[in-house]
Chains A and B, each alone.
Chain A
Amino acid sequence: MGNNVLEHSAASEIFNKDTERVGWHDETLWFVRSKRDKAAHQIQDWELLRETASAIKNHGLSNLHDYLIQFEQNALNNGVQVHWAADAAEHNAIVHSILSKHGVKQMVKSKSMLTEECHLNEHLSQHGIEVIDTDLGERIVQLRNEPPSHIVLPAIHLKKEDVGETFHQHLGTEKGNKDPQYLTEAARQHLREKFLTRKVALTGVNFAVAETGEFVVCTNEGNADMGAHLADVHIACMGFEKLIPKREHLGVFLRLLARSATGQPITTYSSHFKKPRPGQEMHIVIVDNGRSNQLGRADFRNSLKCIRCGACMNTCPVYRRSGGHSYHNAVAGPIGSILAPNLDMKQNADLPFASTLCGSCSNVCPVKIDIHDQLYKWRQVLVKEGHATIAKKLSMSAMTFTLSNPKVYQLGGKIGRFMMQLAPFAVNNPLNPWYKQRDMPTPPKESFREWYLKNKG
């Protein structure tokens, strides 16, 4: 683990100290999962849609090289400037250079997890450029100097009291007023002024279409559109996996995205940007940052199918009870845990272990990524690569167990001993984490084996 980064388990332990708040966080996200279920169950061809979306993405990944060239060519023909960034640093430098070219020191930005991944805001701020996040949730966490805790619901870890206090401090709202309607209105007024005065707007990209060179940005608030249509320069940043082959495929993905994310039938705005408006400059930055490497990992490449709906987070019983920040990665939750080790194996070695492998994530995934199987596979890779923090953690209880239980020690020879070392619930010892909040099973008079030998042997 890197400096000052708490492992998932340690961060979760802190998060779980406030039991009431954990319950609230869990219920809030479960509510979103329930809305998703309701929406999915209203669509007769839901499972076929998922299958189709998955197959389109599989095809897209298998022909990505040609599709990227096709996309680039079409975008150039549409009058859009196309940039390629091998890594986060190059991405940040490209965005900075566009701002510098125009002598601009201020920019509005709509939600882009890619820019979170690349730490763009920090980079630009070091160069004296002010970035205003315009998605309400992102603005809230930006004012609090926190990262988003969820890719779709960035401030889901906060209560309205917290937001009220933040807005009181930064936007001058009434002290103690925590009414969401009032606070949203304050943000609307505050951000409208930014939209009207900023010359450059940066957006993310939900889908980019090879066939046409257009890209689609989905929001509920309208912030991407307010920014882009009022700015002289529109910069859109995308990981290259956002590419889909044809325009008609948007019909499949737009049916799945919002229903999976929040249970809405579609986001309020699904905006298709093809050409800059007259007099406007439009840029697309295509980013790799480890993605081509992930594409080469047969077991993990289909994580690149992700459309960032966040359904796996909402359904994940671990995420709901540990909060997004415990994953110390721009993308949290189950999908984050299979993406993060590709970015930095050492730093993120704990994340694939932050799961019970219950499999609910794979079932809600609209593009059918086998998330829980990949979590299992990452564990194998991480251990082989020497990042087996879990083994170290287990050794104390395992030793205690083996030495304190001769019956089990004798059981089944060497292999059995090794297996049972990894059954740490079997240690009746206050040092054993099992025993902290759970009792031990009562030892029976005889094992099944002994009974069997006596009665059937």
Chain B
Amino acid sequence: MRVGLFIPCYVDQFYPQVGIATLELLEKYGCEVHFPLNQTCCGQPMANSGFEHLTGSCNSLFIDNFDGFDYIVCPSGSCTLHIKDHLHAENHQDEPKAQHIRKRVYELVEFLTDILQVKDLKAAFPHKVGLHQSCHGQRGLQLSQMSELNAPHFSKPEELLSQVSGLELVALSRKDECCGFGGTFCVTEEAISVRMGQDRVKDHQQQGVEYITGGDMSCLMHLEGILKRQKSSIKVVHIAEILNSK
């Protein structure tokens, strides 16, 4: 199957290893992976700031880049959700293409569990790990059950992490509270954003983790910024890197 690799702009610029791990994982499971070179950004930072009406040309560019793939896969729940919910064509005749993309865009974890149905990861990560659920992945894409609902438990990231040998996943006291990144919120509401991040970090610290992982590098970048400022030894690592570790 032909997979278009959609790499968020900040991953491209700051966390290339996450893109590499994603690409290698997909190839490992037999996908023919292409990285359309003219991709830029999904437009979410703008849209979440109230400028969705200016994202038209950005959408067109996205459609040009990702038209014709069987699937589009992205190592970010947040960017995936944005495309799923908000990608529309500027001109009417391209709307079927936009619709195809909206239906076929997958966040990496759900692509591995639902489409590739991965059950036997050959990965090892002998560490104590805390899982940070990104809100857009969890509540938006429903990658795992949400603590607010009276509904049966499931977790796609945990399903994959449980296949990684040596990995010890800790239980957090607040298993799905937002980290406070929130896109531009991280600077426009700096005080709260930081406090939320500090509180998340503390929860992981209290469980004695060595690594915080998750499906969204934006949340992890925010938590990493706080950890580094605290000179903490805890590291952040994207779930793709763990799943691709040997």
User: What is the interface of chain A, defined by CB distance below 8 A to chain B?
Assistant: 8-9, 12-13, 15-16, 19, 22-23, 26, 30, 37, 40-41, 43-44, 46-47, 315, 317-318, 321-322, 353-360, 362-364, 376, 379-380, 382-384, 388, 390-391, 393-394, 397, 408, 411-413, 415-416, 418-420, 422-426, 432-434, 436-444, 446-453, 456
Inter-chain contact A37/B148, CB cutoff 8 Å: yes
- The stretch that binds A, out of B93-101, B123-131, B139-147, B205-213, is B139-147
Instruction: From A9, A26, A364, A384, name the one whose CB has the most chain B CB atoms within 10 angstroms.
Output: A9
Say yes or no for B135: interface residue by CB 8 A criterion: yes
| Bound-complex Cα distance A44 to B151 (A) | 9
Chain A residue numbers with a CB within 8 Å of B48 are: 357, 376, 379
Say yes or no for B186: interface residue by CB 8 A criterion: yes
Say yes or no for B190: interface residue by CB 8 A criterion: yes
Inter-chain contact A383/B139, CB cutoff 8 Å: no
Number of residue pairs spanning A and B whose beta carbons lie under 8 angstroms apart: 233
Chain B residue numbers with a CB within 8 Å of A15 are: 191
Inter-chain contact A439/B228, CB cutoff 8 Å: yes
Inter-chain contact B187/A433, CB cutoff 8 Å: yes
Inter-chain contact B192/A321, CB cutoff 8 Å: yes
User: Shortest 3 CB-CB distances between A and B: which pairs?
Assistant: A438-B225, A356-B182, A383-B50
Inter-chain contact A380/B53, CB cutoff 8 Å: yes
- The stretch that binds A, out of B103-111, B112-120, B157-165, B172-180, is B172-180
Inter-chain contact A8/B221, CB cutoff 8 Å: no
| Bound-complex Cα distance A38 to B11 (A) | 39
The chain B residue sitting closest to A416, CB to CB, is B40
Inter-chain contact B58/A408, CB cutoff 8 Å: no
A433-B187, A437-B229 known; 14 new pairs, CB 8 Å cut-off, are: A12-B191, A322-B192, A355-B185, A356-B182, A360-B139, A388-B51, A394-B187, A416-B41, A426-B13, A434-B186, A438-B222, A438-B228, A438-B229, A447-B13
Chain A residue numbers with a CB within 8 Å of B61 are: 415
Smallest beta-carbon distance A338→chain B, Å: 14
Inter-chain contact A441/B187, CB cutoff 8 Å: no
Chain A residue numbers with a CB within 8 Å of B182 are: 355-358
Can you list 10 A-B pairs, Cβ within 8 angstroms, ordered by A?
A46-B150, A358-B139, A360-B135, A360-B178, A379-B50, A415-B40, A415-B61, A437-B229, A448-B19, A449-B7
Inter-chain contact A379/B49, CB cutoff 8 Å: yes
| Bound-complex Cα distance A19 to B178 (A) | 19
Inter-chain contact B189/A397, CB cutoff 8 Å: no
Partner of B148, one of A315, A418, A440, A452: A315
Inter-chain contact A384/B180, CB cutoff 8 Å: no
Partner of B221, one of A420, A441, A452: A441
| Bound-complex Cα distance A358 to B20 (A) | 28
Inter-chain contact B178/A321, CB cutoff 8 Å: no
Inter-chain contact A40/B194, CB cutoff 8 Å: no
| Bound-complex Cα distance A359 to B45 (A) | 17
Inter-chain contact B226/A437, CB cutoff 8 Å: yes
Instruction: Decide yes or no: A317 and B177 within 8 Å by CB, A415-B40, A422-B184 being known contacts.
Output: yes
Partner of A425, one of B41, B146, B196, B221: B221
